[in-house]
Amino acid sequence: MTAKQYIETVLNEVKEKHAGKTEFIQAIEEFLPTLEAYLEDHTEIIEHNLLSLIVEPERLIQFRVPWQDDEGHWQVNRAYRVQYNSAIGPYKGGLRFHPSTNESIVRFLGFEQIFKNSLTGLPIGGGKGGSDFDPKGKSDAEVMRFCQSFMTEFQKHIGPDIDVPAGDIGVGGREIGYLFGQYKRINGFAAGVLTGKPVSSWGSLARTEATGYGLVYFVENALEDRNETFEDKTVVVSGSGNVSIYAIEKAQELGAKVVTCSDSSGYIYDAEGIDLALVKEIKEIRRGRIKEYLEQHPNAVYVEGESVWSLKEAYDIALPCATQNEIDAELAQQVIASGAKIVAEGANMPSDKAAIDLYKEHGVLHCPGKAANAGGVAVSALEMAQNSARLAWSFERVDNELKDIMKNIYYTCSKTAETYAEKDDLMSGANIAGFDRVVQTMLSQGLV
C-alpha cells in the first residue's frame, strides 16, 4: 500500500466512524495528507498502522455538571475531557467553557494539541476538554458553583503526573482559581495539577501573556529569516481576549501598528492604532463589549456583525486569535487583497482548508496554530517545572525561555518543511515534526 492509499484508507475510516463530527473530521483531513512524503520514508508507520492508532484517543470522558444559579434553580451542563496521547508525557491541554463545546470540538482540539505539545520539545502529551457552560452574564458566585461542581467529578481523572489541564476560551484566572480550590479541598495541595493558576497559588509569571507573546515571537523569527522586522508593519488582529490582547501588546512593543480587535458582536478599526490600555479595561475589568471603545475614541470605526477579515484597508500581517474557522475562502481572498504577506494563527484552526490553499497559491506565509500559538502550553509546561521544583521563576526568565522555545519551533518547522515539502510550507513542517516525535516514542514504547 502506498502512503497516499494508506492516508485515504484512514481518512475514510475516520469519516465513517465519526460522521457528523465536523470539526474533528476537518482537523484529520487537514493533517494526514501533509504526512505523505514522511510516510514514504518511514514505511514502518504504515506497517504498524500507526495512523489508525493515533487518531483514536486513549480515553474520552463525558459527564454532567449540575449547579445552582443565583435564583436557586438547578442547571445542568455537559462536560468532556479527551485524554488523547500520553506517549511523551502527561496529558496537557486547556479547558474551554463555551456554548459551542461538544465532542467534535474537544476531539479536534485534543488531536491538534498532541502535535503542538510535541513541537515545544517539552515532556507533555495531548489532551483537551471543557463544557458547554457559558460564563458570560453569570455572576462570580454562579461561576464558582459551576467550577466546584465540575471539579468534583473531574478530579477523579487528573493529577500532576496524569493529566494537567489549563485554561482556554471562557476559562481564565478566575475559573482556574475556583477549579484549583475545589481540587485542593478534595485531594489536598498539589500545585502541579492545573496551570494558568493565579500567581498566589503557584502560577507562573508570564503565563497570562504567553500565547500572545509567543505568537509574535514566532512571526518575529519568520520575519528575521526574511531580513525583515515588525517595525512599521501594519497588523490586523481578531479577538479581544487574552491571546489577542498580549499579541497586540508585543507587536506594538516591536514597532508595529495594530489597527483592529474584535469580539462576537463586531470589530473595531482604529487607523491611529489600537489603544490597548482601553481594550484591557473593557475586556479584563468591565467585561464589556468591544463597541465601548468608541466612547473614548469616537474617530475609530465600529462594524457590527461582521468579521474583521472583511476589512478592506491595507495591512501587512494577519493574526487570527479568536476561534476555529473564522477565515473561509471568501474572507481569505479579502485578506490577500488587503496585502497581507503573513497569516499567523493565534487560535486553533482559524483558517479552513480552502483559505489555507489560497494563502499558498498567492504566496502568503501561513503560520499554523499548532506551531505559532504553542507559547501558552510551553509556559504551562514551565509552570509545571516550577511547581515540581517548588520554585518561582522571574518574569524575565520565563519570557526568555519562551523566546527560545518559539525560535526553536519556527526553525524546526522550517527545516522539516524544506526536507519534506518546501521552505515556506510551515503547516507541513509543523505537522511532520510534531508527528515524528510522537510516533517514534510510541514505537519505542511498544505501541501502547
Q: What is the rounded distance in angstroms from the CA atom of residue 430 to the CA atom of residue 141?
A: 42
Asked if residue 338 lies in contact with residue 366, where contact means CB atoms within 8 angstroms, the answer is no
How many C-beta atoms surround the C-beta of residue 160 within 10 A? 15
Catalytic status, residue 283? no
Per residue, the 3-state secondary structure of 325-377, as one string, reads CCECHHHHHHHHHCCCCEEECCCCCCECHHHHHHHHHCCCEEECHHHHCCHHH
Residue that the C-alpha cell 484508507 belongs to: 9
Helix (H) or strand (E) holding 168: none
Asked if residue 375 lies in contact with residue 353, where contact means CB atoms within 8 angstroms, the answer is no
Give the list of residues 6+ apart from residue 17 with CB closer than 8 angstroms, or none. Answer: none
Closest-CA residue to 114 (of 141, 90, 96): 90
Asked if residue 24 lies in contact with residue 111, where contact means CB atoms within 8 angstroms, the answer is yes
Rounded to whole angstroms, the maximal C-alpha distance in the chain is 64
Closest-CA residue to 204 (of 214, 196, 216, 212): 196
C-alpha cell at 424: 515556506
> Could you tell me how many residues make up the chain?
448
Q: What is the CA radius of gyration of the chain?
A: 21
How many C-beta atoms surround the C-beta of residue 69 within 10 A? 14
Residue tagged active-site, from 128, 283, 341, 370: 128
| Residue 338 DSSP class | T
Q: What is the rounded distance in angstroms from the CA atom of residue 175 to the CA atom of residue 193?
A: 14
Q: What is the rounded distance in angstroms from the CA atom of residue 268 to the CA atom of residue 310?
A: 12
> Among all residues, which ones are annotated catalytic?
128
